[in-house]
Amino acid sequence: MPVLDVTKNLDALTLTVTAEFAADPERVWRLYEDPRRLERWWGPPGYPATFLRHELRPGGGSHYFMRGPEGDEHHGVWSVVDVDAPRAFTVDDAFADAAGTPNTALPTMRLAITLTAGGAGTVLTSVSTFASAEALQQTLDMGIEEGLRGAMAQIDGILAEESA
């Protein structure tokens, strides 16, 4: 299993994930930088993500949506806080409408990613900070639980496509 460690801090509302991949940081970075690669793993199972706009550079941003099993679309936007390719980036993730306009009434989540050469190749550290419990609840309400049941099927699908 590539997940090394998951640390939850109930008080600070953070979730820190540390994982190790048998690939160099440049290859792991491309999973984030290339929207076609990113959308193959970002959405929860059953909620595939589509990135309509994706610019992982200072001042850049992204607009994506995840489509649920009922055809429901959940839009989000990233606002890039800083980028140090291929080592680190920080984005603010906000809920948005279909036009990609952030919903300022809802809180954002900050996502900080760090890639370090080491271990089997690259150590990924991902820190998600929720502005409030409400933001956490909304992220979870996006159908993650039922979606997880299809996790293995989705991974198999990616693999079949990769080897085709």
What are the residues binding another protein (CB under 8 A)? 1-3, 6, 8, 10-11, 13, 15, 17, 19, 21-23, 27-28, 31, 37, 40-42, 44-45, 124, 126, 128, 132-134, 136-140, 144-145, 148, 151, 154-156, 158-160, 162-163
The candidate with the shortest Cα–Cα distance to 85, out of 49, 115, 129, 65, is: 115
d(CA 72, CA 143): 11
User: Closer to another protein at the Cβ: 23 or 59?
Assistant: 23
Identity of the residue numbered 49: A
User: Closer to another protein at the Cβ: 100 or 157?
Assistant: 157
Closest approach of another protein to the CB of residue 45, in Å: 6
Helices (H) and strands (E) in the chain, counts: 5, 8
Distance (Å) of CA 107 to CA 21, 42, 135? 32, 20, 6
Closest approach of another protein to the CB of residue 151, in Å: 5
User: Closer to another protein at the Cβ: 99 or 164?
Assistant: 164
User: Closer to another protein at the Cβ: 26 or 59?
Assistant: 26
- Cβ atoms of 77 and 83 within 8 Å: the answer is no
